[in-house]
């Protein structure tokens, strides 16, 4: 006979089973948009497996608007010598991935539009073209492709006339791809907002002066061009472009940018270092951020209407031969064109270029940076660079923060400071800084924060710190950071720190911090 407690336990278990079997599936009842978002966060194969759960989930999977196949596609590592068996295995995996992508796209309904499609793989051009045509039929909005092929391939023309496309990114690995003729390119892209092209072969059409115009790209806001081989002439005059990046265009001879809404511009590793009559012209009244990195110096430079610039970072690539007067004037003109900047970073090569002229301060003057509040300099801080630094300080009359990152050049001999042997009156660096005191009066009356990274116990470093302490009327903070802490020199370092604490200070609020 069943006891009361046993019966109660049996009924409880039965009720629990009934509740579980008849309970509602709350996840499946979520709206499609939320389920699509959840599935997009999973690897694509895991997402595909949810289609076997029920008709509801099968419908969700086949109507997924965002497809990211980058979790299953990959490139073979060409840097590693592999056996024929491994190569065959990789090719087999690549074919399987390709078949999976085709299978997923083929199961979508005719009215199932694609919002995002991403993949990266090694394809033949015919397979790549077939995938892109399929994406265009599904009215794809964002197409992000990274592809490697055995030979050059032609830019898929169906992309040009795709009126649904808003974002298109094509990154080619070696050997690259060719663009269609300009007459074809100009007929499309009427709805495109973002365009990114990488590894473009342009030896047969070295000029893109007539492509990026208002009529060809009326809605374009973001443009990235990377590794355009053979490109010599580039002109961007799309009024709506807000973000522009041009990188690794080593044969570029001239660049024109006329963009009324441009806010961010990055140009890196561009221009032919051996080119003649090279030039750059930028007219962008709304430009806020400019990054100019590792570019060869052009013969001519014209920066106009950069009145909204907030941040600028400038660096140049220079060969060992002597800088010509024309290039020196071009650098000075480039820097003067950024006179409205509030924050400025100059790479070491830039400071060295300005230092090439022994009479820089008397022959070439920079426009004053009246809005500049933060100046960051990367320099070796040797005696040859001091006149250029003084010129930059003089051109920054209202500077608040000065950051100097000392680049150690071991080819340059830097004398260590020794108070017992150093006659201050005979120090060339000290006398030079004192001679500039009147010209730097406004600079010294506004400077509040100084940070020197890579500070060492050398005469040039200590001479500059001493000068800023002695004449900085409102100086509040001087931070000296040493990168190398050698236990053998710790006693000497501590002695020099103690001596520096005794330097005279024009500001009673000035504090010295050693790091």
Instruction: Write out pLDDT tens, residues 319-345.
Output: 766 677 788 888 989 999 999 999 999
Q: Residue 232: inside a domain, yes or no? A: no
Q: Is the pLDDT of residue 358 over 70?
A: no
Q: Is the pLDDT of residue 11 over 70?
A: no
Distance between CA atoms of residues 381 and 217, nearest Å: 47
Distance between CA atoms of residues 458 and 117, nearest Å: 58
CA 26 to chain centroid, in Å, comes to 44
Q: Residue 90: inside a domain, yes or no? A: yes
Q: Is the pLDDT of residue 260 over 80?
A: yes
Q: Is the pLDDT of residue 298 over 50?
A: yes
Question: Using alpha carbons only, what angle is made at residue 339 by residues 336 and 344, rounded to the nearest 5 degrees?
Answer: 105
Greatest mean pLDDT among 12-26, 36-50, 232-246: 232-246
Tokens of 252: 């570029």
**Domain end point (choices 197, 232, 257):** 197
Which residue range forms the structural domain that includes residue 485? 356-367+391-409+421-515
**Domain end point (choices 168, 197, 226):** 197
| DSSP state for residue 488 in the 8-state scheme | G
pLDDT of residue 359: 45
- For range 213-217, the mean pLDDT: 90
Q: Residue 332: inside a domain, yes or no? A: no
The number of folded domains in the chain is: 2
**Which of these, 302, 266, 296, 299, lies nearest to 281 by C-alpha position?**
302
**Domain end point (choices 166, 197, 228):** 197
Q: Is the pLDDT of residue 296 over 60?
A: yes
Higher pLDDT, 30 or 277: 277
Q: What is the pTM of this model?
A: 0.83
How far is the first Cα of the chain from the last one, in angstroms, to the nearest whole number? 85
Please report which confidence band the pLDDT of residue 182 belongs to, taking 50, 70 and 90 as the band edges: confident
Q: Is the pLDDT of residue 395 over 80?
A: yes
Q: Residue 188: inside a domain, yes or no? A: yes
pLDDT of residue 8: 59
Q: Residue 264: inside a domain, yes or no? A: no
Q: Residue 74: inside a domain, yes or no? A: yes
Q: Residue 474: inside a domain, yes or no? A: yes
Least confidently predicted of 41-45, 216-220, 329-333, 461-465: 41-45
Q: Is the pLDDT of residue 432 over 70?
A: yes
Bridging pattern class, strands 207-212 and 167-172: unpaired
Tokens of 299: 């013969």
Least confidently predicted of 31-40, 343-352, 413-422, 459-468: 413-422
Please report which confidence band the pLDDT of residue 425 belongs to, taking 50, 70 and 90 as the band edges: very low
Q: Residue 362: inside a domain, yes or no? A: yes
pLDDT of residue 44: 74
């Amino acid at each position: 006979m069943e006891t009361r407690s046993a019966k109660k336990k049996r009924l409880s278990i039965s009720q629990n089973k009934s509740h579980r079997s008849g309970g509602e599936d709350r996840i499946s009842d979520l709206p499609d948009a939320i389920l699509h978002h959840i599935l997009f966060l999973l690897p694509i194969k895991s997402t595909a497996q949810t289609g076997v759960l029920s008709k509801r989930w099968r419908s969700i999977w086949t109507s997924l608007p965002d497809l990211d196949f980058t979790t299953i596609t990959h490139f073979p590592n060409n840097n590693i010598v592999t056996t024929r068996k491994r190569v065959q295995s990789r090719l087999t995996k690549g074919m399987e991935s390709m078949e999976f992508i085709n299978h997923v796209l083929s199961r979508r309904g005719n009215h199932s539009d694609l919002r995002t499609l991403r993949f990266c793989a090694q394809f033949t051009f015919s397979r790549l073209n077939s995938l892109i045509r399929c994406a265009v039929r599904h009215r794809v909005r964002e197409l992000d492709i990274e592809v490697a092929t055995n030979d050059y391939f032609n830019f898929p023309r169906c992309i040009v006339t795709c009126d649904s496309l808003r974002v298109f990114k094509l990154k080619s690995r070696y050997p690259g791809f060719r663009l269609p003729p300009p007459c074809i390119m100009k007929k499309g892209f009427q709805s495109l907002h973002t365009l990114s092209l990488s590894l473009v072969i342009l030896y047969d059409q070295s000029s893109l002066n007539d492509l990026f115009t208002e009529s060809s790209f009326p809605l374009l806001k973001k443009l990235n061009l990377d590794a355009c081989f053979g490109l010599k002439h580039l002109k961007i005059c799309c009024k709506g472009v807000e973000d522009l990046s041009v990188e690794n265009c080593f044969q570029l001879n001239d660049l024109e940018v006329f963009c009324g809404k441009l806010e961010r511009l990055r140009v890196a590793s561009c221009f032919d270092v051996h080119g003649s009559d090279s030039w750059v012209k930028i007219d962008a009244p709304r430009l806020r951020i400019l990054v100019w990195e590792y570019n060869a110096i052009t013969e001519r430079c014209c920066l106009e209407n950069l009145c909204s610039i907030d941040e600028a970072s400038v660096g140049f690539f220079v060969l060992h031969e002597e800088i010509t007067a024309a290039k020196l004037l071009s650098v000075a003109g480039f820097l003067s064109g950024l006179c409205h900047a509030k924050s400025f970073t100059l790479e070491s090569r830039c400071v060295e270029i300005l230092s090439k002229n022994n009479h820089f301060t008397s022959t070439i003057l920079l426009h004053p940076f009246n809005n500049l509040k933060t100046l960051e300099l990367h320099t070796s801080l040797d005696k040859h660079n001091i006149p250029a630094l003084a010129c930059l300080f003089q051109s920054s009359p209202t500077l608040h923060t000065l950051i100097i990152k000392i680049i150690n050049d071991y080819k340059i001999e830097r004398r260590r400071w020794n108070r017992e042997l150093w006659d201050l009156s005979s120090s060339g660096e000290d006398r030079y800084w004192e001679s500039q005191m009147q010209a730097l009066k406004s600079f010294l009356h506004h400077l509040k924060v100084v940070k020197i990274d890579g500070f060492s116990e050398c005469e040039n470093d200590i001479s500059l710190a001493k000068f800023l302490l002695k004449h900085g009327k409102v100086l509040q903070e001087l931070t000296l950071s040493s990168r190398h802490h050698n236990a053998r020199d710790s006693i000497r370092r501590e002695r020099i720190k103690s001596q520096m604490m005794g330097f005279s200070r024009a500001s009673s609020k000035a504090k010295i911090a050693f790091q």
